[in-house]
Structure 1
Amino acid sequence: MKPLLLLLFLLLWTQAQVLAQARYATKTGHIWFFSDAPLEDIEAHNHKVVSILDMSSGELVFSVPMNEFQFRKKLMQTHFNENYVESDKYPKASFKGKVVNIKEVNLQQNAAYKVRVQGVLNIHGRNKDIDTVGVLEVKDGRLLGKSTFSVTPQEFDIRIPRLVRNNIARRIDIYVDITYEPLKGNSL
């Protein structure tokens, strides 16, 4: 009887450990965008992205402070925040969705897994459905997430003045590069 109880205890303890490590998070995620334009390329990086990934359900959320995008030129950053995304009025972009094939990712094996992400991206107070692929790599207890997708300013009701409209690409490439750590308790 004692070996059976010990086995049951070990199974329950193992399950509890797996569930405790089911959520991964970051406060320093990296998202950047690139616009290939005739006059001048536009690129900006943001290293203050907060994200949580629940490995048991695949639920995925991002919060992106818009005024944290850093441009090469200060004037570009000012125009971006004041004239285009209106970061005083719309301080954050967000994504809420799901990794639909999360069950294919084995947390016990270091490997890269192709994943499909679906959800809703909110920028400038407007929502857009996103369906994209990415890579989720398991590496020594951490998760490394990468993805790329494209959007247009018009999809988020971001108005570009006619004078500079030809200086900005019609489609803007968004790059996601996140390193998740296991979330312990309420540490985020």
Structure 2
Amino acid sequence: MESSKIPKAEFKGYITNASTIDFAKDGKYPIAVDGTLTLHGVAQKVAANGLMTISGGKPKITGSFKIKIKDYGITGLYIGEKIASEVEITINCAYD
């Protein structure tokens, strides 16, 4: 997938239901995220659901979404045979 030529991916987005989260209270909050994923030099809009866990005043976000790699200009001989045509992107981030 030419990761040596284009080694980075970038996601920029925001939590669309942030007003439902009590950032001052520990707990688990379902979140919805809209953003743009840039992969292989191609930017596409994506939406994802996840979970924000607040513990000790520090948020942690987990979630996932699926993409079709052809939407990002990734092609090749083995796509669909040895390399999945749809892949799951997993998000795991924490604020310290």
The CA deviation at 1:108 is 1.2
Matched to 2:7, the amino acid is P
Look at both structures and tell me which one has the larger radius of gyration over its CA atoms.
1
Alpha-carbon offset, residue 175 of structure 1: 0.9
CA RMSD of aligned residues (A): 1.5
* 1:129 counterpart letter in structure 2: K
| Runs ≥4 residues deviating over 6 A | none
What amino acid is the match of 2:74? I
| Contact 2:25/2:57, CA 8 A, preserved across alignment | no
SS of residue matched to 1:166: coil
For 2:48 and 2:3, locate their aligned partners in 1 and report how far apart those are by CA, in whole Å: 26
> 1:171: which partner in 2?
86
Match of 1:133 in 2: 49
SS in 1 for 2:83: coil
Report the residue type matching 2:15 in the other structure.
Answer: V
Corresponding residue of 2:68: 152
Report the equivalent of 2:58.
142
What is the rounded CA distance, in whole Å, between the counterparts of 1:139 and 1:174 in structure 2? 24
Matched residues, percent identical? 23
Q: Would you tell me which structure has more helix in proportion to its own residues?
A: 1
Q: In 2, Cα distance between the equivalents of 1:170 and 1:122?
A: 17
CA distance in 1, matches of 2:89, 2:44: 14
Q: Which runs of 5+ in 1 are unaligned?
A: 1-83, 182-188
Q: TM-score, normalised by structure 1?
A: 0.48
Q: Distance in 1 between matches of 2:14 and 2:58?
A: 19
Which protein is richer in strand relative to its size? 2
2:61 maps to a residue whose letter is G
Match for residue 118 of structure 1 among 19, 27, 34: 34
When the two structures are superposed, what TM-score results if normalisation uses the length of structure 2? 0.89
Task: Please give the alpha-carbon distance, in whole angstroms, between the structure 1 residues aligned to 2:80 and 2:16.
Answer: 37
- For 1:161, what is the secondary structure of its paired residue? coil
Shift of 1:102: 0.8
The aligned amino acid for 2:76 is I
